[in-house]
Amino acid sequence: MNEPRQLRLITRHSCELCEELLALLEPYAASGVIRVDAFDVDADPVLHAAHTWRVPVLMEGDQELMWGKIEVAEVVAALGQPLQGSKQHFSA
């Protein structure tokens, strides 16, 4: 099995869009395709300066994959379909 892709999620407390994105990413994380580390934009002055109102932001390394209201099609385009055996498959 390949190593999971290391993603960073810039989020904030009580962010509905952040929770929606986490739900879309869950099948990928559960199947080992990705590993997501979340960072609170309000707890880090550098992140806050860069992303004040731009949450959620999903990054891989220094590359921003997507941000804001993220649709299923965007997740599938960036990550592919969840692996067989995960709870959910998406139709884009």
Per residue in 57-88, pLDDT (tens digit) is: 999 999 999 999 999 999 999 999 877 655 44
Confidence of residue 91 (pLDDT cuts 50, 70, 90): very low
Contact of 12 with 40, CB cutoff 8 Å: yes
Q: What is the pTM of this model?
A: 0.85
CA distance 42 to 12: 6
Q: What is the CATH number of domain 5-79?
A: 3.40.30.10
- What ranges do the domains of the chain cover? 5-79
Mean per-residue pLDDT for 10-39? 94
Enclosing H/E stretch for 6: strand 5-11
- pLDDT, mean over the chain: 89
18: Cβ–Cβ under 8 A, 6 or more apart, which residues? Answer: 9, 11, 12, 55, 56
